[in-house]
Structure formats: C-alpha cells, structure tokens
Amino acid sequence: MFVQQDVKNLTHESLVHWLGQYGVVSYRADQILKWIYHRGVYSFSEMTDLSKDLRRFLSDRLAISRLEPEQVQSSMDGSKKYLFRLEDGQNVESVLIPERGHWTLCVSSQVGCGMGCKFCLTGRGGLVRNLEPSEIINQICAVRDDLEDPRSLTNIVFMGMGEPLANYNSVVQAIQIITGNNGLQFSNRRVTLSTAGLVPRIDDLGRDVTVNLAVSLNAADDDTRNKLMPINRTYPIEMLLSACRRFPLPSRRMITFEYVLIAGMNDAPGDAMRLARLLRPLRAKINLIPFNPYEGAEFKRPEEGAILTFQKVLLDHHYTTIIRHSKGGDICAACGQLRARMSNGEPGEAKQITG
C-alpha cells in the first residue's frame, strides 16, 4: 500500500519531476493533466491513451481529489454561493458572480483569515488554516462542473475568505495550474489576486507569476488605515504604494484599489481628494464598496449621496471608479457569511468581498 499524493497539488513541472523519479517520460504529465483539467476525468483508469500498467501504477500512488458543494444558494441578483466541506470538516465558500455574458468566480485561499481587518467578519474569527493548492483548484472545478456551459466561467478572483499572499506557495501553485496550458487554461488577464498589503509578497508575486493585482486600501491616510487594517502598522501606505509602483504591470493593465466606504470613517470628499492624489503615480482604477452592515458591526454604510459624491471626486480626477455592491445580499452572499451560518447554525453574518 502506498501513501497517495493528490495530483491536484502538483503543477505541470512538479508532476514531470515526480514521474521522472520512476522513469516515466515527461510528456505523460501533459496527457494526465489534460485528462484531469480539459476532460474532467476523476480516475486514472479512464485515461485510455496510457498503458494499463501505467494507469495501475498511477492509481496506486496518486489520487485525483474533488470537492462537491455541500450547499448552493442562488441569489435574486443572479449570483450563486457554493459552500464546500473539506476533508477535515472545515468549510470554505466560493461566490459565482454574473457579469455581462460570462461568470466570475471569487475563490477562498484560507479557512478564516489572520489579517484582522475591522470591517470584515472573516477577520474576526482569525485564521484556521491555509488551503492546499488542490482545495483552491477544486473550488473552480466544482463550479465549472455545475455550469451548463463551463466555458462561460472566464474570470477568477482571489477575493474570498483569506489573505492569498499569506498562503503564498499554495496560491502561486494554484495560479500556475489555473493559467497553465495543461491546467485550467484561464487567461492571466482574467485572474486577479487581491491583497490587504503584504508588501514583501507583492514583490514575490510580480516575479513569480503574471496576474492582475488588486489592493484592499480602504483609507487614504495611515491614521485611518491603522484603525481599519492592523497590517498597515507593519506596511504603511507609502511602503504599500511603492510595492505597487514596482509591480511589473503588463501594458494596458491597471492595479485595482478596493475601498470599502464606511460612514464617518473614510467617506468624506476630502478622503476622496487625498485618495486621488495618492494614486496619481500609478495606473490605477478604483472599486468603491459601500460597507455592508452585519449584526454587531461597529460601522455603518454611508448615505447614497455621500457614496456618489465620493465617486464623483475620483471621476473628476479621471480615475475609472466603479461602485460595487456585495452580490447576493438576499442569500447573505458576501464571502464568509454562509460558512459562519453553517458553523453557528444561525443566519445574518456578512463579510465584504475585498480579500
């Protein structure tokens, strides 16, 4: 009996290396991964272009994991929320968001999160554990299997539960599989990672893979950001924006800055002016996310007028500025909420989708 390794934890390169130890030629890795990611096969016995001996050899030593949703909830706005139970009984969730003619999937990278952002429910519970690459990949595979047209899932965003850069190695491996030719074949233009601002890892990310970067900024000065995001005490705004300036952006791409608008905290026109000045040296676009109150939350959502005024200041400074609302409010679809409901057995908790 062998200890089975999950093939979905292996990138193409690592599978080639693994097979090489047993004298299996490298192009077998291409065949195996195409069966798994292009044809959606979950058993080596179905890989008919491999010899029977090789199929048996692989079945003994490698497993092909899968996740099946334990619960799927559809929202009036067209979004769908998937709750997955992992092998150790922990839950993660993914949110499928309708866009014009295609779908975007928001995936989780950790169970819980250790960043402690004050406006985020997931942050309150702390970090439980990192996800393995396979647990990230399987969120995508399961949702794709659930879609009538799997090709309509075109965009992946790491904005669900967890700080992706705090689970760096797994997330980078997952991105390699998501964008790889032998993997899920998503265009790297359509994969976005959102971070609260782990500065050294932003530099690593720019070196290791090509993806879009989103930064959960939420304030235009350090005093306010310190109150909202403890990570700002380690990596204040100027350090964070320097890392953004160093980030190797392909031509015509921009960094997205996410800004949760909170009444009386960061929503004044003066904050918008400061934000506009702050981002001037960058190719930046801005997503404004009005705070989505949850029971026991210490913050309030701004009035509609304040949200529009804030947006207008940024538009007047020629930033693409979109107001984003948490999708699926009627099913508590902001990331983190369904999991909280499942584990507490009670409704009514929410987290902003900001990663």
The site for ligand SF4 (CB under 6 A) is made up of 113, 115-117, 120, 122-123, 161-163, 196, 216, 354-355
Shortest spacing between CB 323 and ligand SF4, in angstroms: 18
Q: Which helix (H) or strand (E) holds 155?
A: strand 153-158
Q: Count of alpha carbons within 13 Å of 291, Cβ hemisphere only?
A: 25
φ, ψ of residue 155 in degrees (nearest 5): -125, 140
Shortest spacing between CB 335 and ligand SF4, in angstroms: 7
Residue nearest to ligand SF4 (CB): 123
Contacts of 290 (CB under 8 A, 6+ apart): 260, 261, 301, 302, 307, 323, 325
| CB contact at 8 A, 212 and 253 | yes
Q: Please give the DSSP secondary-structure letter assigned to residue 160.
A: S
Exposure of 83 by Cβ count < 10 A (0-12 exposed, 13-18 middle, 19+ buried)? middle
- 253-282 CB burial, b ≥16 within 10 A, e <16: bbbbbbbbbbbebbbeeebbbbbbebbeeb
Exposure of 95 by Cβ count < 10 A (0-12 exposed, 13-18 middle, 19+ buried)? buried
Q: Which is nearer to ligand SF4, 247 or 291 (CB)?
A: 291
Shortest spacing between CB 229 and ligand SF4, in angstroms: 7
Q: Is 214 helix (H, G, I), strand (E, B) or coil?
A: strand
Q: Which is nearer to ligand SF4, 28 or 124 (CB)?
A: 124
Tokens matching residue 80: 């769908």
Shortest spacing between CB 123 and ligand SF4, in angstroms: 3
Catalytic positions, written as ranges: 93, 335
Shortest spacing between CB 204 and ligand SF4, in angstroms: 17
Q: Which is nearer to ligand SF4, 122 or 173 (CB)?
A: 122
Q: Which is nearer to ligand SF4, 196 or 261 (CB)?
A: 196
Helix, strand, coil % in the chain, rounded to nearest 5? 40, 20, 40
Q: Which is nearer to ligand SF4, 73 or 167 (CB)?
A: 167
